[in-house]
Amino acid sequence: MSKIFFTKMTGAGNDFIFIDRKKNPDVDLKDENIRKLCNRRFGIGADGLILIDDTSGYDYKMSYFNSDGLAGSLCANGARCSIRFAQYTKRLKNNNASFVVDDIRYSGKIIDDKIIQFNLNTPKDIFLNKELRTSDRIINFSFVNTGSHHVVVKMDDIFDTQTGKKISFNNISEIPVYQLGKEIRYHDQFNPDGTNVNFIQIKGDVIYIRTYERGVEDETLACGTGSVASAIILHLSENLNPPITLRTFGGDNLIVNFSIVNQNVENLTITGPAIIVFEGTVNRDLFF
């Protein structure tokens, strides 16, 4: 077979290349192939690649790879897109989906033609009000593992190392997300795996979020597990009650809902848009 068949999808601006094993039975994805396909100048372009396989006992199996070519941790926007993809490829018997990622069972459902809900497992390793120092900043942060590691930084919790004074940003667009996110992502405090980094601003009734993603090594237009992490931290530190809506850098809203049972976060969901952008083929010789 000289062609690879793919589907391009986006979940609130977080974009993915989907490859279906049914259409590409002999595909053998290596790091280099994934990097080429995800390249925005010489490939299809995406934040990550998702391989869909059939598997016994579930609607499908999802394997996620970051644009750096390496297997990624849980991707909630990718999972939401996978539910839409499973419906499109007639893998679902109804609007509910049951699937596996890294041998862990997940579920979700189709709300309507654009909106998908994904159900996450109980988060782990929640830490509030920690501190780290970068080359020129003191950062107060919180941390939570929502299936991926996430640092959450409120816009007003960034200080100058020299003076110790708070750095005043008028709005979240002024935060140097790439520079500061990269420094935190690779900080010794998060060795050896590193972390994703979320910056949030509460402005009236709107919560704005920007995210530096590990594995993409850049800011993305949305991050599902990062939005979930931020909502949990905002509930614990700001007493915000779920459901909590966050405005992504791409302009879409992601809604995080959960309940507190015996001081644990349970029934955790994220809901938002997931759409098919286009389908196509690529010449195998260019990428494999």
Mind telling me the catalytic residues?
75, 223
Q: Provide CB contacts within 8 A for 263, sequence distance 6+.
A: none
User: What token pair was written down for 101?
Assistant: 């990622």
Measured distance CA(42)–CA(187) in Å, rounded: 31
Asked if the peptide bond before residue 273 counts as cis, ω within 30 degrees of 0, the response is: no
> How far, CA to CA in Å, does 236 sit from each of 71, 76, 263?
31, 21, 10
Measured distance CA(85)–CA(7) in Å, rounded: 9
